[in-house]
């Protein structure tokens, strides 16, 4: 079983307590009514779906119930790091090879 570090519980917890909540750092447009249809489509539907490092929102739903952000490798399924919701995308990942 994967162990995921919850930044609010400050320890690693079993994956069964967590739920994925989609890609992170997708800013909602400030004036959504003025968005063109193409821009809205990009915001609403289009996700990066990379092979490799992805930034995701996760929720410790059966624990502290908080949303937080996690950096995960989609190839190895390894969690690189996690950080609290609202914090900026980390500039440097620990143990990053590239």
Partner 1 sequence: MAKAAAKTKAADASAAVERRPALAGRAVSAPGVKVEILPPAERISLRAPEASVAALSKALGVTLPSKPKTSAAKGGRTALWLGPDEWLVIDDAGNDPLADCAKVSALHSAVGISHRNVAISVAGPAAAVTVNSGCPQDLSLEAFPVGAASRTILGKSEIVLLRTAEDTFRVECWRSFSDYVFTLLSEAASDAAN
Interface contacts to partner 1, rule CB under 8 A = 1, 8-11, 13-14, 16-17, 62-66
Question: What is the distance between the alpha carbons of residues 74 and 72, in angstroms, rounded to a whole number?
Answer: 6
Nearer to partner 1, 86 or 95 (CB): 86
Cα separation, 64 vs 61, in Å, equals 7
Query: Among residues 47 and 84, whose Cβ is nearest to partner 1?
Result: 84
Residue number, 1 or 27, with CB nearest to partner 1:
1
**Closest separation between CB of residue 28 and partner 1, Å?**
24
- Give 36-45's long-range contacts (Cβ < 8 A, gap of 24+): none
What is the rounded CA–CA span in Å between residue 26 and residue 31?
15
Shortest distance (Å) from residue 58 CB to partner 1: 15
């Amino acid at each position: 079983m994967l162990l995921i570090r919850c930044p609010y519980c400050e320890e690693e917890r079993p994956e069964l307590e967590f739920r994925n909540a989609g890609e992170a750092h997708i800013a909602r447009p400030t004036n959504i009514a003025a968005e063109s249809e193409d821009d809205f489509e990009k915001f609403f539907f289009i996700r990066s779906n990379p092979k490799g490092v992805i930034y995701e929102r996760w929720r410790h739903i059966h624990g502290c119930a908080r949303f937080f952000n996690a950096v995960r490798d989609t190839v190895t399924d390894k969690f690189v790091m996690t950080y609290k919701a609202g914090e900026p995308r980390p500039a440097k990942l620990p143990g990053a090879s590239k």
